[in-house]
Structure formats: structure tokens, C-alpha cells
Amino acid sequence: MEVLSDNLGQNLEKSSSFISKYSYDMLVKWGVSQDWAALVNCLVLLALLLILIFVIHGIVRGIFRIILSKMTKNDDSLLAYLRIHRFPHYLALIAPVSLIHAALPIVFENYPAWIRPLSLLTDLYSVFMVVSIITSVARALIDVLKQKNEVFRFRPMESFIQILTFVLFFFGAIFMYVRVTQNSPLEFFAILGATSAVLLLIFQDTIKGFAASIQVTTNDMVRIGDWIAMPKYGTDGDVLEINLTTVKIQNWDKTITTVPTYALISDAFHNYRGMQMSGGRRIKRSIIVKQSSVRFLEDDELADFKKIQGIADYIHERQAEITKHNDKLGMDRSLRVNGRNLTNAGLFRKYIDWYLRTHMGINKDMTILVRQLDPTNKGLPFEVYTFTDTVKWMEYEAILSDIFDHLISSVKYFDLEIFEDVAGSDALALKPGHPNPKNNELPESKNNHDKEN
């Protein structure tokens, strides 16, 4: 850049000296004082410099774009992504910045006090330019990796870009310190050491986010697109973005929640990726029956239960097993409580198991379990613990509803009753003189009154 700046400086000095001398002489000839003539001359050269900067940048950027478009063979190549991330724009800034470096001593020849501050600002802009060029190349490389390898597609690569940007700006700060103070870079680190406590306080979220990003990526805790739930932050949805300081989550109601990145390692959260990758989503729901409706079955009742498909063979096997057991122990079968017996609850539990194993929406390679839970004051729970063969939400809800619609409707065929709290209308129906909402019958007094009329 220095060689380019020197060459530009020599050419500009020749051309600008002619323009400067011509404009200065014209202003003096028109009666303008020398001070005002010098100021106007500076402004004219500055305007010409700005025009030249935009023209050169536009030409160079156009050339780079044409070259990249000619060399690009497909849309997922590195050159294509370089164009997307404005690499030609940032690279074309080298020529204008070099022009500014060379032109400052000429434009502000009569105002030398402005040359050094503007030169430092140009150096600062050069730092941003270099960082932009490198990060655009890095983003293009990451996009290529995401296309070529699915592993990188769901990793928080934005954090790596931010870390790279932070490192580049750190070295840029060292460059600017040396440029401004003309001191050794070692003094810069000495100043950092002296102000480390203040810096840690100011950048504590960034530092914690930096450490958290490394742990999240290394341990593969969260990926882009994962469904996570963080009750502490009231969020439940898909991860949209993971960067150095924040994680952006889209909840199921389409709202966006932003949580600190370090919360992923400091707080508990649920990640449903395992469920989504397994191919099955869990069903864990209970049907609660009245305990008073559970009873032993008489032998003459079993003929009707054998008509229910799915449990007929089970009844035959269990009858033989129970009879053999009771005969072996010499049980007095005059009372059903003696020995082993079939119960309507047991047959219902077996029927649920058979129904689940034959249902097309259930994943047969995963757990299928029907069990009794501890009795409560609400009744006896029969819990269904199984997995659907899909993880899609709408399909899952349809399968779950279909299963329990059938099971709830089947309870009465086993002479069981489902527990349900008494509703207000049920309580009113028990009140004397109040109409029964079930059959819309009028109270007796009301009926008699109508008959009399």
C-alpha cells in the first residue's frame, strides 16, 4: 500500500499543483485575499478528491465483480459466496484509501495541522477495511463448508466469525496505538494489564459469552434449528442464531426471545434434538378409573369378554394358568377372593397393550408400556407410555387423540367407570325440584302444574 501511495502521490502532486496554482491565481485576480484564496483552493481540491474517490472505487469494484462473475461456475462455489458477502466492495476500497493517504499532504498543504489527524483517521478506516475483507472471506468459506458438510450447517459458526473479528480488531488496536504514540507494542499490553479489572467489568458479558460459545460448540450442546426450552427465561421454540453474546430463539407463538449465550452452560434447559433424531415422540398420559368399579370377573362373564378382539387368546391362557394354580393350592372357589382371578381392570390393561401394538401410528421399535400408577383420591390411573412413529407436532397430536378417543370409549365395555369431578350442573341435578339437564325432565311439581293447566 505504501508503494501504491508513493506512486499516486507523485502523479497527484503534478496534477494538483497545476489545479491549485490555477485556482489560487484566479481567486487572487478576482480580488480575494490570500487566506480566503488558500481556503477555497483547499475546498476545491477536497471536492475533486472526493469525486475521484467515488469514481475509482466504482470502477475497481465493477472490475472485480465482472472478474468474479466470469470465474464463477455455480451458485455454491467460493467465488459466488464472495460476491454475496461483498468481497469486491471491500477489496475495491484499497485504491481509494491509498489515494487518500497520498492526497492529504497536497490537499491540506496550507493547513499542515490537519494532515496528521486525518491521516490517523484514514489508518483507522484502513483497519476496518482489512477486517471487513478478512471476515467476508471467512463468511464465504463457512457458507461453502455448510453446503459441503452438513455438520457445519447446524453449528454456531457466527460465534467463530465474531471471535475472529474481535481478534482482528485487537491487533488493529495495537497498530493504532503504535501509530498514534510511536511507542512499542509492549507498552500497549502493559496498559491492558493495568486496566484489566476495568476491562473485565466492562466486557464481562462478552468474555463469558466467548467462553460459553467455545463450550457449546465443543460439546455440541446446541445447534441451529434445535428445539429447546428454558423455563427460567420463558422460552420454548427453535434456535435461530447463536453468536458470541446472545442466543435467538423463536417461540411457538412466533415471538422471539433473546437469552445470554452463557445461560446455556449456567442454567438448565431442555434440548429435544434427541427426540427428533430418534424418530419417535413420547406419549405419557393416563386414564383414571374409579377404584370401586374394579372387580373380579365371574366365569359366565368371560364369554362376553372373549368377543373383544385382542384379548380372547389372553383370556384362554390366563384361565388355564389360574385354574392350574388354584387347583394346585386347593383353593376354595366358593368365594372369589380365594386364589387368583381375572379382573376387568387386568383385561382392560391387556387390551390397551394390544391396541397400542397394533396401532399404525405407534413406533414398534421403542417402548410400549401400560402400567398402573399409585392410587390417589382421584382414582386408579392407567398410564400409557409409548412413542409415536413421527416427531411432527400435528401428526403426533392426531395420533395421541385418536388413541385416547378409542380407549376412553372402550372403558364401558370392561364395566369400568372413568373418574370425573362433579360439575355444577351435576350437583344441581341432585337438588330436589331442579330440572335434570341430562334428560330435560321437569320436576314433578312443575309437571303436575302443567297438567292442571
Which of 2-6, 184-188, 191-195, 296-300 is least confident? Answer: 2-6
pLDDT value at 306 more than 60: yes
Which of 170-179, 354-363, 413-422, 430-439 is least confident? Answer: 430-439
Share of the chain above pLDDT 70, in %: 79
For residue 236, give the 3-state DSSP assignment: strand
**Complete domains list, the chain, with CATH:** 2-220 (no CATH), 279-295+343-421 (3.30.70.100), 297-342 (no CATH)
Q: For the segment 14-34, what is each residue's pLDDT rounded down to a tens digit?
A: 555 555 566 666 666 666 666
Backbone region of residue 330 per phi and psi (left: phi > 0; alpha: psi in -120 to 50; beta: other values): left
Task: Please report the pLDDT score of residue 450 as a whole number.
Answer: 45
Stretch 292-309: mean pLDDT: 88
Q: For the segment 217-229, what is each residue's pLDDT rounded down to a tens digit?
A: 777 788 888 889 9
pLDDT value at 368 more than 90: yes
Task: Please report the pLDDT score of residue 5 as a whole number.
Answer: 47
Task: Please report the pLDDT score of residue 49 as a whole number.
Answer: 81
Task: Please report the pLDDT score of residue 1 as a whole number.
Answer: 46
The band of 61, judged by pLDDT with boundaries at 50, 70 and 90, is confident
Task: Please report the pLDDT score of residue 2 as a whole number.
Answer: 46
Task: Please report the pLDDT score of residue 452 as a whole number.
Answer: 43
- What 3 state SS string does 255-305 have? CEEEEECCHHHHCCCEECHHHHHHCCCEEEEEEEECHHHCCECCHHHHHHH
The band of 163, judged by pLDDT with boundaries at 50, 70 and 90, is confident
The band of 74, judged by pLDDT with boundaries at 50, 70 and 90, is low
Backbone φ and ψ for 371, nearest 5 degrees, come out as -145, 160
Task: Please report the pLDDT score of residue 403 as a whole number.
Answer: 95
Residue 92 buriedness (CB in 10 A; 0-12 / 13-18 / 19+): buried
Residue 33 buriedness (CB in 10 A; 0-12 / 13-18 / 19+): exposed
Comparing CA positions, the residue from 213, 229, 228 lying closest to residue 265 is 213
Task: Please report the pLDDT score of residue 11 as a whole number.
Answer: 55
pLDDT value at 6 more than 60: no
pLDDT value at 42 more than 60: yes
Task: Please report the pLDDT score of residue 18 as a whole number.
Answer: 56
Q: Measure Cα distances from 426 to 178, 291, 436 in Å.
A: 86, 21, 8
CA dihedral 215, 220, 222, 227 (to 10 degrees): -160
97 and 73 Cβ atoms separated by less than 8 Å? no
Stretch 134-155: mean pLDDT: 77
Q: For the segment 231-278, what is each residue's pLDDT rounded down to a tens digit?
A: 888 899 999 888 777 889 999 888 999 998 888 888 888 888 888 888
Distance, CA of 334 to CA of 52 (rounded, Å): 112
pLDDT value at 394 more than 70: yes
The band of 447, judged by pLDDT with boundaries at 50, 70 and 90, is very low
Task: Please report the pLDDT score of residue 13 as a whole number.
Answer: 54
The number of beta carbons lying within 10 Å of the beta carbon of residue 415 is 17
pLDDT value at 424 more than 60: yes
The pTM assigned to this predicted structure is: 0.57
The beta strands (E) that lie in 64-186 are given as: none
Which of 145-149, 324-328, 406-410, 422-426 is least confident? Answer: 422-426
Stretch 163-183: mean pLDDT: 77
pLDDT value at 134 more than 80: yes
